């Protein structure tokens, strides 16, 4: 299962999804509530818990087991929150240039922002994402119009993770995109996550020489990596 990041949607994984299916694998790429093709469901109440529930319910309703669960960027918060509910159904966790939280962390906290900065009364409840760089102009033409604002509660709501990810029985892989990408606003948090993974025997650590949008700029490399895990 491939879980996208902020301001994105399942369409961002379409190249990787195709490659994995051609290799004989069943692939699920849920779009999170309020963004992507589910943008019509956006509201101030949509937050991280909503997106954790999106992932958990996909696994439970489809009765999935032995899942390779990937979270990209903000999706790292989502899959981390989900494993407390479905950890026994996960065979491998992959964080792709993603946040790696502890219990109670928020996206904005990991970015060094305060609640006063981001959730003060009267501030907009929708947040626009940064401009992204695409290697292929055709990919940019497809993706840019499909980027959507995201409810700020996704970034201010704490993740519930009573057990550290290292305590679960599944395997863990962290993939860091190493090419400079000034528009990847989580760079410092991703660097900290990479250090945690690189220095822990509980994690496999991999680097890919590309920018943040790995699934869209290096889909073949990502598909090969996932096929190795399966």
* Confidence tier at 180 by pLDDT (50, 70, 90): confident
pLDDT of residue 114: 62
How is the chain split into domains, by residue range?
2-229
Q: Measured between alpha carbons, how far is 50 from 55 in angstroms, rounded to an integer?
A: 9
Bigger pLDDT: 174 vs 186: 174
**Any idea what the Cα angle at residue 12 is, between residues 194 and 133, rounded to 5°?**
70
191 torsion bin: left (phi>0), alpha (psi -120 to 50), beta (else) = alpha
Calculate the CA dihedral of residues 28, 166, 225, 101 and round it to 10 degrees: 70
CATH placement of domain 2-229 = 3.40.50.1820
Q: Measured between alpha carbons, how far is 118 from 47 in angstroms, rounded to an integer?
A: 14
Decide if pLDDT at 61 tops 60.
yes
* Residue 113 DSSP symbol: -
Which residue has 């690189």 as its token pair?
198
pLDDT digits 0-9 by tens, 91-138: 999 999 999 999 999 999 999 976 545 555 667 999 999 988 899 999
């Amino acid at each position: 299962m491939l879980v996208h990041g902020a301001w994105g949607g399942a369409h961002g994984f379409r190249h990787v999804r195709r490659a994995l299916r051609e290799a004989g694998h069943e692939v699920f790429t849920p779009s999170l509530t309020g963004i992507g093709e589910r943008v019509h469901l956006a509201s101030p109440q949509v937050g991280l818990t909503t997106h954790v529930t999106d992932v958990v319910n996909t696994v439970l309703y489809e009765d999935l087991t032995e899942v390779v669960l990937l979270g990209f960027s903000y999706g790292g918060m989502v899959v981390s929150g989900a494993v407390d509910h479905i950890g026994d159904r996960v065979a491998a966790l992959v964080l792709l240039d993603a946040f790696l939280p502890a219990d109670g962390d928020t996206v904005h906290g990991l970015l060094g922002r305060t609640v006063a900065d981001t959730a003060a009364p009267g501030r907009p409840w929708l947040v626009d994402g940064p401009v992204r760089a695409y290697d292929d102009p055709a990919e940019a033409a497809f993706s840019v119009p499909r980027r959507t604002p995201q409810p700020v509660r996704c970034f201010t709501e704490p993740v519930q993770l009573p057990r550290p990810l290292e305590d679960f029985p599944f395997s863990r892989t962290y993939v860091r995109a190493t090419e400079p990408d000034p528009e990847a606003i989580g760079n410092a948090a991703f660097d900290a996550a990479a250090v945690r993974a690189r220095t822990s025997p509980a994690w496999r650590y991999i680097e890919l020489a590309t920018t943040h949008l790995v699934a869209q700029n290096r889909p073949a490399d990502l598909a090969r990596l996932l096929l190795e895990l399966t």
